[in-house]
Amino acid sequence: MCGIAGAVGKDARSLVMNMLSVLEHRGPDESGTFSDGDITIGNVMLKITGNKSQPISNGKALTYNGEIFNFREIAKELDIDTDSDSETLFNLIRTKGLEEAIQELDGDYAFAYYEKGKITLVRDPVGVKPLYYTKGDVFAFASEKKALFSIGKNEINVLRPGHMMTYEAGSITEKKVTSFSKGKPLTDENIASEMLFKSLETSIRKRFHKPCAIAFSGGLDSSFLAAMCKDAKLYSVGMAGSHDIRQTRNAARQLGLLDNLNLREITLEELGYAIPQVINAIESTDPLMVSIALPLYFASKYASNDGLRVIMSGQGADELFGGYKRYDSLGFEDLEKALRTDLDNIAKNNLERDDAVTMVNSVELRVPYLDKKVIELALSISPELKIHNGIRKYILRLAASYILPDELTWKEKKAAQYSSGIYSAMEKIARKNGYGKDLRKYLEEKELSWGNNRGALPEGQ
């Protein structure tokens, strides 16, 4: 996992060095640059897989962020001896070309490839890893928008998931290169649940990294992950007396994993201190976005403090299997459309936020429910099996029943921002600081004061 950046122009190297300094939290282990004329690309590295420095170059060059889970199989096919997915990707592109190489990748990635004055940006099909760019008088790209803001760029574009964009001599072309294939419809719940269990088992196991953390709420999605990864450490947070504090302890006990549970009750003081840091990380003052980000921020922070570099979450399960209450009123045809729309927008709505809030703590987020094969299987499963007799995520619950006790399999769970008590605690802090019910105004003020007040607690804390 890394942070990547690049620029074209006479000051390209200094611009890239500036952006890499902003992205340092994404890669505290190492940094590097490659330049050719007025083009520079660079990288800051969080070492998880392999020990290969970046950018990788031999006249051509690659700077890469992500994980390629099938890199060992690809390396064997290419007859190269390496423990590095980035080195494997570089050799695959050199051997087969960009577009053919992309079709072989099983993983989550965003990368830039340079060759003969041309820069090509590529992003994985679901958008797990972010990539932004700016054009005009200067072309530049980076893993986070704030890096581009730091070089004076305000009109920022996002590379869409599954797309490849090429910049050459001031001209930009973009096209979709990867997507999801919907298979033959699955309507038998026994067949579908067994296939889903096996697909998720494969996805979870290939993303497991020892030592590994799980953002654990005690609900269906994270309990499935925990049951599959008995060696993982479970990180859960909530305000004192909140639902999650009770539920996570109960769930861990039922799974026989109490010794793995790291449960923290967040104080108002801790929450107040974290709010501006989260706003800065996710670059949003939307109260809902901030409240959703905070539990994952704390979980990844405590995991990082314990020396862990990988955390898994249940992100994507609701969008694939009908987990939101707003789906209840939809007919099956409309449900299928709504689920696909939410999947298509999950990068913008959720993944970019989650990546930012974990990487601010130098922890890589992995999302097993958003594995390409899991997604394609989910798209094939009939919507009647996703909400069945009023039960949301019915088919996922059937799959989970192979490994979870009934109470965890069938229990409904509140949204994390409410079950953790964090949203109401944010409102309490806003009232305490004289903002009444205007939580958004309070968050906007925290954003403005962040740059001048990084070491101090917010007012009234």
C-alpha distance from residue 96 to each of 89, 113, 121 (Å)? 10, 14, 17
Q: Is 147 helix (H, G, I), strand (E, B) or coil?
A: helix
> Would you say 326 and 388 are in contact if contact means Cβ atoms under 8 Å apart?
no
List b or e across 342-380, with b for residues whose CB sees 16 or more CB atoms inside 10 angstroms: bbbebbeebbbbbbbbbbbbbbbbbbbbbbbebbebbbb
Q: Is 2 a catalytic residue?
A: yes
Strand bridging mode 213-215 / 233-239: parallel
Cβ-count burial of 434 within 10 angstroms (0-12 exposed, 13-18 middle, 19+ buried)?
A: exposed
Amino acid at 151: I
Write 30-39 long-range contacts (CB < 8 A, 24+). 30/54, 34/61, 34/63, 34/114, 36/61, 36/114, 36/117, 37/117, 38/8, 38/9, 38/10, 38/12, 39/6, 39/7, 39/8, 39/12, 39/114, 39/117, 39/119
> SS3 for 218?
coil
Quick check: 449 and 441 in contact, CB under 8 A?
A: no
Give the tokens for residue 229. Answer: 């990864």
382: number of Cβ within 10 Å: 16
End-to-end alpha carbon distance in the chain: 35
**Would you say how long the chain is, in residues?**
461
- Helix (H) or strand (E) run with residue 109 in it: strand 107-115
One-letter identity of residue 112: A
How many C-beta atoms lie closer than 10 Å to residue 37's C-beta?
9
| Residue 191 half-sphere exposure toward CB, CA atoms < 13 A | 9
Residues 238 and 299: their CA atoms lie apart, in Å, by: 10
Instruction: Of 126, 182, 143, 185, give the one whose Cα is nearest residue 368.
Output: 126
**Distance, CA of 90 to CA of 305 (rounded, Å):** 33
Q: Are 200 and 398 in contact (CB under 8 A)?
A: no
Q: Which of 1, 2, 46, 379 is catalytic?
A: 2
| Rounded Cα–Cα distance for residues 8 and 19 (Å) | 13
What DSSP character marks residue 397? H
Q: Which residues are catalytic?
A: 2
